[in-house]
Amino acid sequence: MSNWKKMCNFAADFKINTMYTKEIDNYLRKFGFREFKPKAVLFDMDGVLYNSMPNHAYSWHNSMASFGIEMSEADAYAYEGMRGVETIKKIVKEQRGIEISDEESQRMYDEKSRIFATRPQAEIMEGVIDLQGKIKSYGMKIVVVTGSGQHSLLEKLTHDFSGLIEPGMIVSSFDVTRGKPHPMPYLKGMEKAGVEPWEAIVVENAPLGVRAAVAARIFTVAVNSGPLPDEILSDEGANLVFDRMTDFDKVFPALVESHISTI
């Protein structure tokens, strides 16, 4: 490599490291923490581990249409992360002005799940296996924090990510009484990993998921794998926003190695 090229690479790395140092510093100041020392990465599932959001959006739109409820595919992205039953109750109230029971909402959600099961299986998100390998090589823990309550999906997860994701390190809708955007799922995720907020990183794709992670005071990385504008994710408080998982994978070492403290 020529000296000039080496110098350019050094300048690029310096710029990246400076950028993260600034973001970490902003994060520490916002929450009054002294040190950022990540020991665990908490991953959302849909739109993060799997490219499953197009299937969810299709199933949401078509199932709700069969009940006379309007839910565009873009709405499905905007509500992503919230528990299905809660999403349906909210939309029915907005469109019909009535409160429906949990049972009725569950029946409607079952139809969404039925349609979802007919869709082709979603691919594992490009770059996420490499990223998780890096996380493990740093001796860090991996936790999955999802609003999903579909048993088949949760079983598939430990199979597809064998050696990376353990069954005891998954927080699903069965583990919490409040779903995202409430911080409870991420608080539970930290409990499973045995870490404090300044020792964790969240990887999310959804605005309500980012809101939940920020409410749990965790450094939040958004990977915008859907059609929503980046600003929605940064406005919710995401510390960094990437277009693709492969982009985050490339810079992950720089992020975890830029340990800084405000002491």
Residues at the interface with Mg ion (CB under 5 A): 44, 46-47, 205-206
Q: Which of 232, 224, 200, 46 is nearest to 122 (CA)?
A: 46
CB of 8 to Mg ion, least distance (A): 36
Nearest to Mg ion of 46, 199 (CB atom): 46
Which residue, 33 or 211, has its beta carbon nearer to Mg ion? 211
Contacting residues for 133 by C-beta, under 8 A, at least 6 apart:
164
Who contacts 68 (Cβ-Cβ below 8 Å, separation ≥6)?
none
Residue 29: CB minimum distance to Mg ion, A: 28
Nearer to Mg ion, 157 or 206 (CB): 206
Q: Are 245 and 128 in contact (CB under 8 A)?
A: yes
Beta carbon nearer to Mg ion, 24 or 245 = 245
Residue nearest to Mg ion (CB): 47
Using left for φ > 0, alpha for ψ between -120 and 50, and beta otherwise, residue 152 falls in alpha
- Nearest to residue 218, comparing CAs of 248, 245, 238, 194? 238
Cβ atoms within 10 A of the Cβ of 22, count?
Answer: 12
For residue 94, the minimal CB distance to Mg ion (Å) is 22
Given the complex with Mg ion, which of 57 and 64 has the nearer CB atom?
Answer: 57
Q: Name the minimum Å distance from CB 206 to Mg ion.
A: 4
Smallest distance, Mg ion to C-beta of residue 202, A:
11
